[in-house]
Amino acid sequence: MTLASATEDFLTVQDLAVSSGHLVITMPTSFHVARGETLAIVGESGSGKSLTAKAIAGLLPPGVIAKGSVKLEGCELNGLSERDWQRLRGRRVSMLLQDPFTMLNPVMRAGRHLDEVLRDDPMFHDRKARRAEVERRLAEVGINNPAVADHFPFQLSGGMSQRIALASSLARDPEILIADEPSTALDVTTQAEIMQLLKRAQAQRGMSLILITHDLRLAFSICDRVLVLYAGSVVEIGRAGDLGSGPFHPYSAGLLLSEPSATRRVKRLVAMPGRVPVAHAVVGQCAFADRCDWVEERCRAARPALEQRAPGRFTRCLRQPEIQGELDALRHAALEVAPAILARPANERPAIKVDAITKVFAGKTTTHALKGVSLHIAPGESVGLVGESGSGKSTLGRCLVGLETPTTGKIEIDGIDAHDFEALQPDDRAYLRRTVQMVFQDPYSTLNPRHSVGKTLAESLRVGQFSGDMNVTIARLLTEVGLTADYAKMRPAQLSGGERQRIAIARALAVSPRLLVCDEPVSALDVSVQAQVLNLFKDLKTARGLSFLFITHDLAVVRQIADRIVVLYLGEVVEEGSVDQVLSEPQHPYTKRLIASIPASTKHIQGAAEL
């Protein structure tokens, strides 16, 4: 392959294949990273991106092996002994992991994590010198209060923990840093800060960076080159700008299209059908063939090679030259703007009225989750409730379905006082349960693992005072959420995240509610699946005239789905208005900060489309 080209190549990966026993996890992969360069490895869950990164850093879990070669300035890394790795790790190759809450040792003070790394350096044998260095390093990642070094991880926020982790992975000034989803678990505004710190540290050191992410916007905004991984195969490599403005592979194109835009509302998101296969199942063919609109016989005959089609641009698509025009046209078409949202008549009677509710969680430290929040939702209206973790947005949603009881204030649903479900007449309570339903965030525990899909839906139907043929109705519900009747026999463990979330939606729909409270319904899903589910919500809105309360931290999701937006910050509504108005002309400083923290890559994507 012609990938290992220039002499400035710093890290060269040649035919690196990860497998577990006879199970293929990634197919042979080759790429290179130059000194000081930033490479993004983009892929959905199951693409093998994390294990590829771990293979490079020699951190594969037991039983998983890597074949092929990883060369750091000509020195072979794959197969090094643990002792040799110890000399390299931290100093030359360093890794930053995803979850800030489990990454730090809970019984070690924050500063100790850095101290441990510096200890071996003869320059810092002296305890005082080491302490001074720890403080200097913390300042580098934006922690100016040296007392933080004495805190335990549980006393730190996610952003703080991630800073400490970043400082310790940079402590020995590595020449290449592999960051595996370093900001995914953090709030949007914190995400932006961490990425800035990472960028700055990289520039100061001339360090190379491999950023593993599922977030295309992030990849395009900070990386020089992007490598797209799908089901264990590299499908495309190219410069961020080129790939963002005109992808060569149908999968990259689909991924870009299914990413909701934060700046404009489209009529319908382009969703790729189906789900990511396991690498093992698509070894002898184009990995994307089963989901591709342009698939031909030869795509399935053998695995296509990664070929250079333009300077520095590689794709594994056999048909790229013929379909490039279609791919570009599709991207133009997808940007067709949805009709403007009609303003609601001012005298409309709201279906839901929340009036100055507060919620106080008593405990060792009293938490004021909601401090007098008022809100209304008209029939058929979608309201986006935006805020970061700790803003009280989930608490508000739970109050609406009676999972929490507000401390003070009023909730009125269809004229019924619903602030305390327990105190209601049984008839009224049953009526409310059928009127408002909720869809939860985590698709993996939203369904009872011991119940089949059919049993879950049947239970819900019975609550909705259903009479008639249960099986027929279950089949109809499943069709409505885009699944087939066969799913009734399946159990949650057999389903993907997107499918589970659809079942959870069907369960809520079974009682024919008029308001659906959706608490981060797509945040745990892959981009392509996220687009499918968002489209489903759009369809349900039209077909059933449902009202929605979308609780989310993702402004792009709100832009696509909500009519009106309510911004919640530390338990208070700080801004409210139509989506266009709030997102285009934010008034409150917090909203401004929120909007500023969206990675700017959409410029690439849309800039090109506007040409």
Partner 1 sequence: MTLPEAIDAHPVRRVSRRLAQMPLLVALAFVVVCVVVMCAVLAPWIAPYDPSLQRLDVGVSLPSSDLILGTDTLGRDILSRSIHGASTALVGPMVIAAGAFAIATILGLLAGYLGGWIDTLIMRWVDFMHGLPSTLIVIVVVGVIGGGYWVAVAVLLIAFVPSDTRIVRSAVLEQRPRPYIDAARSLGISKPRILLVHIIPNILPIIVAYVAIDFAFALVNLAGLSFLGLGVEPGTADWGRMLSENRNLLLGGNPLGTLVPASAMILTAISMNLIGDWLFEEFIG
Query: Which stretches of the chain bind partner 1, using CB under 8 A?
Result: 20, 23, 25, 45-46, 48-51, 61, 64, 278-280, 398, 401-403, 429-430, 433, 436-438, 440-442, 445-451, 459-460, 463, 490-494, 504, 507-508, 511
| Pairwise CA distance, residues 139 & 358, whole Å | 38
The residue (of 142 and 464) whose beta carbon lies closer to partner 1 is 464
Phi first, then psi, for residue 276 (nearest 5°) are -65, 125
- For the bound state, the minimum distance from the C-beta of residue 437 to partner 1, rounded and expressed in Å, comes to 7
Nearer to partner 1, 82 or 422 (CB): 422
- Yes or no: say if 565 and 541 are a contact pair by the CB < 8 Å rule: no
Report the nearest approach of partner 1 to the CB of residue 515 (Å): 12
Nearest Cα to 488, choosing from 513, 455, 462?
A: 455
- Cβ neighbors of 162 (< 8 A, separation 6 or more) are 100, 182, 183, 185, 186, 190, 194
| Element holding 499 (H helix, E strand) | helix 497-509
Instruction: Write down the least CB distance from residue 519 to partner 1, Å.
Output: 9
Using a 10 angstrom Cβ sphere, with 0-12 exposed, 13-18 middle and 19 or more buried, the burial of residue 389 is middle
Task: Find the shortest distance in angstroms from Cβ 517 to partner 1.
Answer: 9
Nearer to partner 1, 18 or 286 (CB): 18
- Helices 470-480 and 453-463, axial angle in degrees (round to 10): 110
Whichever of 438 and 556 has its CB closer to partner 1, that residue is 438
8-state DSSP, 485: G
CB of 485 to partner 1, least distance (A): 18
Task: Report which of 207, 348, 350, 331 is spatially closest to residue 270, judged by C-alpha positions.
Answer: 331
Q: How many residues does the chain have?
A: 611
Q: Return the number of the residue (472 or 493) whose C-beta is nearest partner 1.
A: 493
Residue 405 CB, shortest distance to partner 1, in Å, is 12
* Shorter beta-carbon distance to partner 1: residue 429 or 593: 429
CB of 494 to partner 1, least distance (A): 5
Of 447 and 533, the one with the shorter C-beta distance to partner 1 is 447
Question: By C-beta, is 49 or 163 nearer to partner 1?
Answer: 49
User: Where are the extended beta strands (E) located within 172-295?
Assistant: 176-180, 208-213, 225-230, 233-239
Q: Looking at beta carbons only, is 283 or 301 nearer to partner 1?
A: 283
Q: Closer CB to partner 1, residue 20 or residue 78? A: 20
What gap in Å lies between CA 488 and CA 503, rounded to an integer?
Answer: 10
Nearer to partner 1, 278 or 333 (CB): 278
Least Å from the CB of residue 492 to partner 1: 7
Output the smallest distance, CB 269 to partner 1, in A.
25
Q: Which of 493, 496, 487, 486 is nearest to 529 (CA)?
A: 496
H/E stretch holding 539: helix 527-544
**349 with 397: CB under 8 angstroms?**
no
Q: How far is the CB of 464 from partner 1 (least distance, A)?
A: 8
Phi, psi of 253 (to 5 degrees): -60, -45
CB of 529 to partner 1, least distance (A): 16
End-to-end CA distance of the chain: 34
Question: What's the min distance (Å) between Cβ of 39 and partner 1?
Answer: 18
Q: Which residue lies nearer to partner 1 by CB, 83 or 450?
A: 450
Burial of 136 per CB tally in 10 Å (0-12, 13-18, 19+): exposed
Query: Of 429, 584, 437, 572, nearest to 505 (Cα)?
Result: 437
Nearer of residues 141 and 506 to partner 1, judged by Cβ: 506
Which DSSP category does 7 fall into? Answer: T
Q: Rounded to whole angstroms, how far apart are CA atoms 174 and 177?
A: 7
Q: CA 561 from chain center: how many Å?
A: 17
Nearest of 186, 179, 129, 177 to residue 156 by alpha carbon: 186
SS3 555: helix
- Packing angle of the helix pair 158-170, 188-205 (nearest 10 deg): 10
Report the nearest approach of partner 1 to the CB of residue 283 (Å).
13
Give the pairing of strands 38-42 and 208-213: parallel
Of 215, 407, 250, nearest in space to 326 by CA: 250
